[in-house]
Structure 1
Amino acid sequence: MTAPLPRRRLAGYGVGSVGTGVFSALPGLLLLYYLTDVLGVAAGLAGFVIVLPKLWDMLASPLIGAVSDREAVRTGRRFRLMITGALTLPLLFAAVFSAPPMDATGSALWVAAAFVLATTAFSLFQVPYVALPAEISPRRDQRARAMSWRVVCLTLGILAAGGLAPAVVEAAGGGRPGHLAMGLAMGLVLLLAMTTATVTSRWIPSRPGPRPLGPVAAFRAARGNRAFFALCATFSLQSLAVAVMLAGAPYVATYRLGDYSLTSVMFVCLVGPSLVAVPVWAALARRFGTVRCYLVALASMIVTAVLLYPAIATEAVGPVLAVAGLVGVFYTALQLLPLTLLPETVREDAARSGQAQAGTFTGVWTAVETGAMALGPGLYSVALTVTAFRASDVTQEVVQPDTAITGLTAGFTVLPAVLFLVSLPPLLAFRRRFRESRPAAPEEETHAA
């Protein structure tokens, strides 16, 4: 029987998700606000600036996945793309938040160009990195254990983004200087996390094949995996909902709670419960089944997101943070459980088609995930635009109309709840197509995270 994975290897792989958590969450949390309230870019244009690079990434990531599989066939590793992304992303990320003084249009162009390059660099790391769990062990319980470590590290990265980044902005004086300091500090976190994971994961043998496929042939072979695409649709809609909430947090903190610095506190309440909830959801999934727990968590998330609206309407910090913490409990499940199921759909497809191509599937997964995370701020900006939100730079103070206050609140609560609800049908379709194996045996459970 294959031995369980030692903790040092699990930690070495998982630490890369600190970096992916930072990059996935931070632009969604701060970039729209940076554009509208620091650079003075109109909300509609700011939303387009954020969406455009990720639309490009939706095209690039599947191609990167196919290239990663070809590299793995030739070398048995996915190292080269990962190290390229790990070394280039930190500087490009800092560039996103370092727009020089110029008019709003020039600032928008600067951010758009830097964000396109940063998103591409991120995909060079992320796509092969996400492919590794399907190859990390032949044992399902060990693959699930690796995903638990990854989600814990992902939570730490998201907390660093949401808990520390706004604090760095404030400590460095806010405005342009504060965001530049934040970009440099978070760039250093990206460098350390991603390079460490790249080097310490070189032991994982990648065995796609048996033959290398070009991008067109790879996608043709992959399209029969209906369970994967149902799961991918579910996760992308939920990522979109989470991205909308991230984009709305600074606006709710500023205009409903009266203190921008509460953005960090709200974010910790939304994400922090993951550190405790990950092992709980992992144990529940082993006991009752991953898909069943996923359905319960999704239904609970829909109800809890709706409850945020009356909590925010009180404009009292306590109720908002309490409900946000409850959201965080179910958010944990919506991260851990689909990521646990992802490598299983990849391995099942290899048995079906005779062609293992984890990189191709994770390229598609990354494309839709990053696209959803980008569309979130864009969708939230639409809510701001149609409710007459007034943009300003840091030298101006504006009073928002009542319609804008209502719009930014509903965009943070009701809109995500609707998106979570829309993700239910593809999850039910996934349940019909995916045959979940029995829970881990007792001797295997002792090794689980």
Structure 2
Amino acid sequence: MHLGYGLGSVVTGTFGTVPGLMLLPYLTDSLGVSAVTAAVLVFTPKVWDVVLNPLAGRISDRSGDPRGPRRPFLLRGGIPLAAGFALLFAAPPLGSPALQAAWVFGLYLVCATAYAFFQVPYMSMPAEITRSYHERTRLMSWRVGVLAFVILLTGALAPAVRDAFGGLDGYRVMGALVGVLLLIGVVSTYLATGTAPVGPVAPAAGRLREQVAVAVRTPDFRFLLLTFVLQALASSTMLAAVAYVSRWVLDDDAAASVLFVCFIGPALLLTPVWAMLGRRFGKLRGYVAASLVWVVASGALLGAGSGSAALVYAAAGLAGIGYAGMQLFPMAMFPDVTAAETARTGQNRSGLFTGIWTAGETLGLALGPGLYGLVLACGGYRSSDAGSGLQTQPDSALTAIVIGFSLVPSLLVLASLIPLRKFGSVPARG
């Protein structure tokens, strides 16, 4: 059952990784869309999710399906997501970058909507599968383990597939293969959780707006959410930079796959170590320690401007060590917060809390490529299309590429520690 639940990370890891890694360069370097426009296109569909995710949680809270309140949504959201993703990178030759950008925008909006109805119910399941504090942590450990593996796999293979076929064809093949992988993850999770226990769901009374206000006023939830959103923004900003650093700083497109292995490989291997440290010293202390490792490592990536691949790979590996803990601890702490709130109030807002949490995560992940696109625009980055070839870049653009890869993510995680300091310090009120 642990592995069965963890298989859902095939979907969350893939959709959380590949668009952040590939969509911005697809728009700027293959479709000829300006960096500012590309940033807006990548970000805008996610704004819809900020509204939609709490609604998706509320809908699943009220579901009376005999298969459980959450599990049917794995198929209802997951299958359209897989189909939409296969089309996302298959923009036909419509005659202008504007029309092709509109294609990408429309399909990305479809994918974001479908993902909300998969992810929110999926993330709500642990609090209802078991009431055990330690069992929920074990569930999250499996989820994080699968997540790290999938991020490593898709992050390394997606650029490799694109480069193997080249140009727009490379993006089309990559999109189709990722769509198939998403479908496999959706169906596998649905089938594997068929025997999982389903706890009773008694949704809280009141209108959606009232319940959202109650959730946001819960101190530990609010502090943990703000920390997690800032860190999602930091990691997605660094992720969006990988293709640009590889091409323009390291002068090797293939370095994107190597960078990804350096970043995610330690996360895959060291998640159990962080879990052990969390059991010994507490989840909160472990979370702070992991975040500080990231701050130091991402700051060190300022040295990428020297063009030293060894330095960049080593710093990325150290960032990966911090990233492992930054994924494990908030995911393990979140169901504890929602379960404690249910026990305190006697009302189940698990789906709603998860919807708000996922909306925050989605916003952070979406803002990363958008923020990086704006940093590129400030540096005077020159976009190009597949027909005209790549432009040379001014020194200011190369500086922007490095700053967005290093200093910006480092400062964001440092800022995230401010709300985390308040976690557990303010009593909840009814």
What is the DSSP-based 3-state SS (H/G/I as helix, E as strand, rest coil) of the residue aligned with 1:430? Answer: coil
CA distance in 2, matches of 1:194, 1:372: 24
Equivalent residue for 1:438?
none
CA contact (8 A) 1:73 1:211 kept: no
Cα distance change on mapping 1:392 and 1:211 into 2, 3 Å: closer
Shift of 1:358: 0.9
RMSD: 1.6
Cα distance change on mapping 1:359 and 1:144 into 2, 3 Å: same
1:158-204 alpha-carbon deviations (Å, 9 max, x no partner)? 112211111111122x2111001000101111111122112222323
CA contact (8 A) 1:84 1:124 kept: yes
Shift of 1:41: 0.3
CA distance in 2, matches of 1:136, 1:106: 46
The amino acid across from 2:111 in the alignment is A
The amino acid across from 1:228 in the alignment is F
1:72-115 alpha-carbon deviations (Å, 9 max, x no partner)? 59864312222111211111011110111131111111100000
Q: What TM-score do the two structures reach when normalised by structure 2?
A: 0.96
Cα distance change on mapping 1:317 and 1:209 into 2, 3 Å: same
Given the alignment of the two structures, is residue 46 of structure 1 paired with residue 38 of structure 2, yes or no? yes
The amino acid across from 2:12 in the alignment is T
Given the alignment of the two structures, is residue 133 of structure 1 paired with residue 126 of structure 2, yes or no? yes
CA distance in 1, matches of 2:377, 2:285: 39
Shift of 1:212: 5.9
Cα distance change on mapping 1:369 and 1:210 into 2, 3 Å: closer
- Residue number among 291, 295, 314 corresponding to 2:288 in the alignment: 295
1:136-151 equivalent positions in 2, closer than 5 A: 136-151=129-144
Equivalent residue for 1:412?
405
1:30-66 alpha-carbon deviations (Å, 9 max, x no partner)? 1000000010000000000000100011111110000
Equivalent residue for 1:267?
260
Equivalent residue for 2:299?
306
Unmatched runs of 5 consecutive residues or more in structure 2: none
Given the alignment of the two structures, is residue 429 of structure 1 paired with residue 422 of structure 2, yes or no? yes
Cα distance change on mapping 1:140 and 1:403 into 2, 3 Å: same
- Residue number among 294, 306, 319 corresponding to 2:311 in the alignment: 319
CA contact (8 A) 1:291 1:431 kept: no
Equivalent residue for 1:216?
209
1:266-309 alpha-carbon deviations (Å, 9 max, x no partner)? 01111111121110000000011000111111122111111111
Equivalent residue for 1:441?
none
CA distance in 2, matches of 1:49, 1:351: 42
Q: What TM-score do the two structures reach when normalised by structure 1?
A: 0.92
CA contact (8 A) 1:62 1:364 kept: yes
CA contact (8 A) 1:302 1:421 kept: yes
CA contact (8 A) 1:15 1:150 kept: yes
Equivalent residue for 1:225?
218
Equivalent residue for 2:230?
237
Cα distance change on mapping 1:346 and 1:15 into 2, 3 Å: same
1:194-252 alpha-carbon deviations (Å, 9 max, x no partner)? 22112222323142216565423432442442211110110000000000000000000
Equivalent residue for 2:164?
171
Aligned length: 425
1:292-338 alpha-carbon deviations (Å, 9 max, x no partner)? 1111111221111111111x122121121111111000001000000
Unmatched runs of 5 consecutive residues or more in structure 1: 1-8, 436-449
CA distance in 1, matches of 2:305, 2:395: 12
- How many percent identity over aligned positions? 40
What is the DSSP-based 3-state SS (H/G/I as helix, E as strand, rest coil) of the residue aligned with 2:390? Answer: coil
What is the DSSP-based 3-state SS (H/G/I as helix, E as strand, rest coil) of the residue aligned with 2:384? Answer: coil
The amino acid across from 1:29 in the alignment is L
What is the DSSP-based 3-state SS (H/G/I as helix, E as strand, rest coil) of the residue aligned with 1:398? Answer: coil
The amino acid across from 1:119 in the alignment is A
CA distance in 2, matches of 1:417, 1:38: 30
Equivalent residue for 2:100?
107
CA contact (8 A) 1:66 1:218 kept: no
CA contact (8 A) 2:61 2:203 kept: no
Answer with 316-325 or 424-433: which moved more.
424-433
Cα distance change on mapping 1:205 and 1:53 into 2, 3 Å: same
Given the alignment of the two structures, is residue 341 of structure 1 paired with residue 333 of structure 2, yes or no? yes
The amino acid across from 2:24 in the alignment is L
